[in-house]
Amino acid sequence: MNHLNIQNFLTKNVSTLDGVGNKTKKLLKKKKIEKIKDLLWNFPQGYTDRSNLVTLDRLEIGKISTIKVKVIKYNFPRIRNLPNRVICEDLKGKIDIVFFNSREGYIRKILPINSLVIISGKINFFKKKYQITNPAYIVPVEKEEYVNKIIPKYPLTEGLTEKVYRKLIEQVLKKVTNLEEWHDKNVLKKIGNVSWVESVNYIHEGNDNKINSKYFRRLAYDEILSNLLVLSQVRRRIKRLKKEKKIFYNIISNKIVENLNFYFTSDQKKVISEINNDLKSHYKMFRILQGDVGSGKTVVAFTAAANVIESDYQVVMMAPTEILAKQHYILAKKLFSSTNVNIGFLSGKTKSDEKKEILEKLLNGKINFLIGTHALFQKKTIFKNLGLSIIDEQHKFGVHQRIELANKGGKNCDILLMSATPIPRTLIMAVYGDMDVSRLIEKPINRKEVITLSKPEEKINEIILFIKKKIYEGNQIFWVCPLIEESKILDYSAAVNKYNFLSNNFKNKVGLIHGGLDKNERDKVLNNFLKKKIDILVSTTIIEVGIDFPNANVIVIENSNKFGLSQLHQLRGRIGRGSKQGTCILLFKKNLSENAKKRIKILKSSNDGFLIAEEDMKLRGFGDVLGYQQSGIKNFKLADPVHHEDLFSIANINIKNIENDENNFKKYDLLMKLFDKADVISEII
């Protein structure tokens, strides 16, 4: 079978394999196995030792054993619900082979009287007799080698047996035996010097499938490379999009700087320069501005907006929530107050008459800068001359959405994405390989670092006294309870109990938001907090990233050991956003695990979100870190940035040798199909 035939075979539906009927097809779908290639990535989780062929006088109860016996008698009861029994023997004794829900004809077929058979299953003892109930394997004695061995143990769903699954994976492994290698010798040497075929076979034979074995690493590398190949093609496609240069002299942006109550950090100056170079270029900007909480991303974006408006283009800025969008709008009105820039606001809640007026002004160019929510992307929202789209907190955008985004706004529209979710350096290329990346790490000079304390829950009375003092000084308080995903009732009651407890101490000064509230109720409570109608906000949900509550300078986080480092850092970033000192109090229960102690220690010693993200990934593993699961970043089947950091580096170097050679790229067609990247590529090209 040649390379192309193997490729076609692997991308067919599993129903084309021998032994897959409708029932098996549905069971496989439960395991997300729909195409033949999906079987390859369902790795064994160990093995079952069926190699201990024993005589009937050496059986051990509860142990999986393989026996060679002669069929001597059937016992098919005529009473419903009683099992069928087949008595078998060898020279040392007798055993009952018991079948529930099996037809008489089927049993006679697989166990003919006087035949010698190999049977494998778990040994039980019932009414002073050894028995095997519903054995895993029954084969003629000439097929002994198929059963009498160590057999891979797959994670399967109920109703899908090891025997059935093994027949399927063996069909696949047999077909891919002659598959040609796609990496050259230099790359193979760097990643363990084993071929793809060797690696897949080795792991599916129930051998070493540990994450750092050379066979697993080889396959993980292929997955990393397939991801980078997609991002490379997206980048190439975007770079082909030509536009008109923006021409500006920083007149409006300088007025914004004059309205600031702080000086730009060196990081902000560097990023503004990078963005300005993109705006003045003939190539479309597609940049992600990644900044730690409180690093000043918004004013950098406003500076870019000012320069684009000066170039006689319009700008749109989209935020994920109404309250965050409104906050951006208020800040923009303040910073652009000494200019003649006309700023509009649009959301799903905008009244129809007002919305109609905004859309008319937008179309005739009377609104220069429009800020709002997802409502901005509706078909009716048409710009006269859109030159820049700024998307805030859209770390949830996957590659597909980014392609769509790059197409919006016409050929002269530059794109700036912003995210406050720090991504460890290992992942930057793997996640944002299609974009140019700018990072803000420094905090504005006027912002004080948050003090982080840890306290046992027994000292809650001391914390109440501390909070009373802080409220007296004009501060507001966040009180965060962990989300109990397994039980919304428990989640709700824990928050309500805390709300009631705090309300007894602070009459009419406490608000509550939790998962049960609808968006309007939630926004109402948050607005009350923003307007200082309440002093303490109890929350079971992650408080909106990016929202500024200038008077919120204390956050208490209950059961802090239940949060990851990055989550705790994001929560901590909700406070100390004004000129006052912020305090984060991590409450914990007794008997902390070593990992929990390490997390608290790291958080107390650092306010650097990027360093914290690195440490969080090392402590908890990839996929559990805030934002990764939701964002589609956790889309690897095999690769792990903690264990395979060197493979990401090798792939980054390799991609540069591949991406400019169209013929070189084609040899990775099968690789792209194996990891579900082919559809994205066809969409790009």
Residue scoring higher pLDDT (406 or 104): 104
Asked if pLDDT for residue 542 goes beyond 70, the answer is: no
Instruction: Give pLDDT, residue 90.
Output: 95
Mean per-residue pLDDT over the chain, rounded: 85
pLDDT of 123-150, one tens digit each? 999 988 999 999 999 999 999 999 988 8
Mean pLDDT calculated for residue range 272-293: 92
Burial class of residue 366 (count of CB atoms within 10 Å of its CB; 0-12, 13-18, 19+): middle
Q: Is 93's pLDDT higher than 70?
A: yes
Question: Which run of H or of E encompasses 647?
Answer: helix 645-658
Run of H or E including 128: none
Please state which of the ranges 352-356, 405-409, 454-458 shows the lowest mean pLDDT.
405-409
Q: How far from 536 is each of 56, 190, 585, CA to CA, in Å?
A: 73, 56, 14
Please say if the pLDDT value at position 258 is more than 50: yes
pLDDT per residue over 54-65, tens digit each?
Answer: 999 999 999 999
Q: Which amino acid is at 613?
A: A
Burial of residue 314 (CB within 10 Å: 0-12, 13-18, 19+) is: buried
Rounded average pLDDT over 211-219: 90
Confidence check: pLDDT of 396 > 70: no
pLDDT at position 159 is 86
**DSSP string of 390-420, one letter each residue:** EEET-TT--HHHHHHHHHTT-TT-EEEEEE-
How sure is the predictor about 237, in pLDDT bands with cuts at 50, 70 and 90? Answer: confident
For residues 306-329, average pLDDT? 91
- Asked whether the beta carbons of 279 and 414 are under 8 A apart, the reply is yes
Residue 428 CA from chain centroid, whole number? 14
Mean pLDDT of 58-85: 92
Question: Does pLDDT of 85 surpass 90?
Answer: yes
Average pLDDT over residues 532-544: 81
Residue 106 pLDDT > 90, yes or no? Answer: yes
- Greater confidence (247 vs 162) lies with 247
250 or 683, which is more confident? 250
| The pLDDT value given to residue 633 | 47
Read off the pLDDT of each residue in 439-444 and give the average, rounded to a whole number.
83
Q: Over 60: is that where the pLDDT of 565 sits?
A: yes
pLDDT reported for residue 635: 62
Question: Hey, what amino acid is at 156?
Answer: L
Predicted pLDDT at 403: 63
Choose between 338 and 633: higher pLDDT: 338
pLDDT at residue 642 is higher than 80: no
Q: Is residue 422 left, alpha or beta, with left meaning phi > 0 and alpha meaning psi from -120 to 50?
A: beta
Report d(CA 300, CA 296) in Å as an integer: 7
Q: Which of 222-236, 393-407, 492-506 has the lowest mean pLDDT?
A: 393-407
Between CA 87 and CA 537 the distance in angstroms is: 71
Is the pLDDT at 525 greater than 50? The verdict is yes
Residue 58 is classified by DSSP as: G
> Would the pLDDT of 680 be above 80?
no
pLDDT at 211 (0 to 100)? 81
CB contact burial 8-23 (16+ within 10 A = b; e otherwise): ebbeeebeebeebeee
Give the pLDDT of residue 49.
Answer: 85
Mean of the pLDDT values across residues 158-187?
89
For residues 381 and 632, the model is more confident at: 381
Structure tokens at 47: 């093995």
pLDDT at residue number 343: 97
The partner residues of 679 in beta bridges, in order of sequence, read: none
- pLDDT of the residue at 670: 85
Q: What is the pLDDT of residue 406?
A: 61
User: What does the buried/exposed string (b/e) look like for 136-156 if buried means 16 or more CB atoms within 10 Å of the residue's CB?
Assistant: bbbbeeeebeebbbebbebeb
Helix, strand, coil share of the chain (percent; to 5): 45, 20, 40
pLDDT beyond 60 at 121:
yes
Task: Indicate the residue type of 82.
Answer: L
CA distance 579 to 320: 26
Tokens of 516: 């049960």
Q: What number of other Cβ atoms are within 10 A of residue 95's Cβ?
A: 21
Task: Give me the mean pLDDT over the 268-293 stretch.
Answer: 92
pTM flag (> 0.85): no
Instruction: Average the pLDDT over 264-271 and give the result.
Output: 92
Region 450-465: mean pLDDT is: 91
- The contacts found for 22-28 with CB under 8 angstroms, 24 or more apart, are 23/159, 24/160, 24/164, 27/157, 27/159, 27/160, 28/160
Cβ pair 267, 416 in contact under 8 A: no
Express each pLDDT in 339-362 by its tens digit.
Answer: 999 999 998 888 889 999 999 999
| Paired residues of 335 in beta bridges | none
What mean pLDDT do residues 204-226 have? 85
Structure tokens at 537: 């906000």
Q: Is the pLDDT of residue 625 over 50?
A: no
pLDDT of 493 strictly over 80: no
The answer to whether 260 and 298 are in contact (CB under 8 A) is no
> Which range has the worst mean pLDDT, 104-118, 249-263, 436-450, 458-472?
436-450
- Is the predicted pLDDT of residue 490 greater than 80, yes or no? no
**CA dihedral (464, 468, 470, 471) positive or negative:** positive
Q: Give the tokens for residue 75.
A: 């016992």
Query: DSSP letter string over 582-595?
Result: PEEEEEE-SS--HH
425 has pLDDT over 60: yes
Note the pLDDT of residue 630: 37
Label residue 362 exposed, middle or buried (CB < 10 Å: 0-12, 13-18, 19+): buried
Task: Give the residue-averaged pLDDT of 576-597.
Answer: 83
Task: Tell me the mean pLDDT in the region 502-506.
Answer: 90
* pLDDT reported for residue 608: 83
Model confidence at 154: pLDDT above 60? yes
How far is it, in rounded angstroms, from Cα 494 to Cα 512? 11
Give the domains, in start order, of the chain with CATH numbers: 1-46+158-180 (1.10.150), 48-152 (2.40.50.140), 182-240+644-685 (no CATH), 251-440 (3.40.50.300), 451-606 (3.40.50.300)
